[in-house]
Amino acid sequence: MSRFTDKVVWITGASSGIGEALVHAFAVEGAKLVISARRKEELERVQIASGLNHQNSLILPLDLSDTKNINDLTQQIINKFGRIDILVNNGGISQRALTKDTSLDIDRQIMEVNFFGTVAITKSVLPYMLKQKSGHIIAMSSIAGKFGFYFRSAYSASKHALHGFFESLRMEIYNDNVKVLVVCPGKIKTNISVNAVTGSGGKHAIMDQSTNEGLSAEECAKQILKAIKANEEEIFIGGKELKAIWIKRFFPKLFSKMIRRQKPE
Ligand SMILES: NC(=O)c1ccc[n+]([C@@H]2O[C@H](COP(=O)([O-])OP(=O)(O)OC[C@H]3O[C@@H](n4cnc5c(N)ncnc54)[C@H](OP(=O)(O)O)[C@@H]3O)[C@@H](O)[C@H]2O)c1
């Protein structure tokens, strides 16, 4: 028996990258999985690849930029499994464009997917967790949720916003036994830069060198499960890029000079 055996885990952004690796990791531990993203066929692929079936998993396609029917989706999970134990708000989109070249519509789109989509799902699930008097909510931030970087003004803003939201929520629901974990990955080898949006809404379609050299999504998922088990509140996952967080905290002026000299990609 694992801590996650028979737990009902809803993962957004489950069709690729870190989300897909999380589906595998939770499936191995015997959890019941609800997997969401826009691409249904990719979710079906992940379901099969993770050895899941229609008894122990549910595919719920959704677009984080349009969550008006989110309560219907949550109800479908309750109808099938009766509860939701863990919500992993992992779905998200990055940006590769200078602020001056990013239209306000794209700024709003990134906020809608990364921030408001996450908030909408969380608010939809929260009443059930409060009623159960148990639950765990995970928010996927980034090191860009701790400091800004070239080409990521809206992305970084959306991830910073998650910290304010989930830190407030964490204290509000502490006595209801509902936990909040904020995850800040550094460089993880996924298609995040390939799928990133340009300033006019096109696809960046380039694999960043640093992302390509990053930690595997599987290792990232492993560290997230470990952090949930340990009831961590905030974790950083990655390699030497994580040093920037500590340098900013203790030497903000030095940080400002150093980060400016980093290769913008
Ligand atoms: N890889 C990194 O280095 C890194 C670093 C820090 C933080 N992160 C964060 O980790 C999370 C997962 O990213 P990843 O690295 O695994 O990249 P990825 O492979 O591009 O995965 C992104 C996931 O989000 C889903 N998604 C994107 N837009 C969506 C929308 N409008 N509605 C619903 N789902 C949507 C995608 O599925 P569909 O396209 O099928 O909708 C996909 O499953 C993101 O929140 C990202 O910001 C990644």
Q: What Rg, from alpha-carbon coordinates, does the chain have?
A: 18
Task: Write the pLDDT tens digit of every residue in 215-255.
Answer: 999 999 999 999 999 999 999 999 999 999 999 999 999 99
Look up 128 and say whether it is catalytic: no
Ligand 1 and 90: CB distance under 6 A: yes
Q: What is the pTM of this model?
A: 0.98
Of the pLDDT bands very low, low, confident and very high (cuts 50, 70, 90), residue 97 is very high
Rounded to an integer, what distance in angstroms lies between the CA atom of residue 161 and that of residue 167? 10
Pocket test for ligand 1, best of 12, 195, 265 (most atoms within 8 A of CB): 195
What pLDDT is attached to residue 265? Answer: 87
What pLDDT is attached to residue 263? Answer: 85
Rounded to an integer, what distance in angstroms lies between the CA atom of residue 10 and that of residue 57? 10
Rounded to an integer, what distance in angstroms lies between the CA atom of residue 96 and that of residue 132? 41
Cα of 93 from ligand 1 centre, angstroms: 5
Ligand 1 and 145: CB distance under 6 A: no
Task: Write the pLDDT tens digit of every residue in 110-136.
Answer: 999 999 999 999 999 999 999 999 999
Domain boundaries, the chain: 8-260
Task: Write the pLDDT tens digit of every residue in 40-49.
Answer: 999 999 999 9
Percent of the chain as helix, strand, coil, to the nearest 5: 50, 15, 35
Cβ neighbours, 10 Å, residue 253: 8
Cα of 254 from ligand 1 centre, angstroms: 31
The yes or no reply on domain 8-260 and CATH 3.30.70.600 is: no
Q: Residue 135 — left, alpha, or beta (φ > 0 → left; ψ -120 to 50 → alpha)? A: left
Ligand 1 and 19: CB distance under 6 A: yes
